[in-house]
Amino acid sequence: MYSVIVSRTFQKQFHSLQEQLQQRIRNALKELEIDPDKSRSEADIKLLKSTKLQKHRMRVGDYRIIYMIEENTVYVIEVFKRSQGY
C-alpha cells in the first residue's frame, strides 16, 4: 500500500471543481494507494517524459492529475482540465 499526500495547489484546484467530479477524483486517488505505476481500467496512468523529476499523470475524464512517487508515498501535485495543458 502507498500513502497519498496532496499539495496545497491540488487542494485549491480540487475544491473549485463540481461535487460529482470531486468524488470521481477521490476514487482515483484511492486507486493510487494500490499501485500508482500500473495503468488499468480504473486508472489510466502514464509516465510524463521530459520532466526533471519523474512525474506521472492519471486521467479522470477531461481532467488530469499530476503526481510523483517516492518510495511508498505518492505526492499529488495538481489537477487541471486537459485543455489547460501540461
The tens digit of pLDDT for each residue in 7-22 reads 999 999 999 999 999 9
CATH number, domain of 41, equals: 3.30.2310.20
Total structural domains within the chain: 1
Domain that holds residue 18: 3-84
- Residue 86 pLDDT grade (very low, low, confident, very high; cuts 50, 70, 90): low
pLDDT in tens, 39-68: 888 789 999 998 788 999 999 999 999 999
* Phi and psi angles of residue 28, each rounded to the nearest 5 degrees, phi first: -65, -40
CB-count burial class (<10 Å; 0-12, 13-18, 19+) for 39: middle
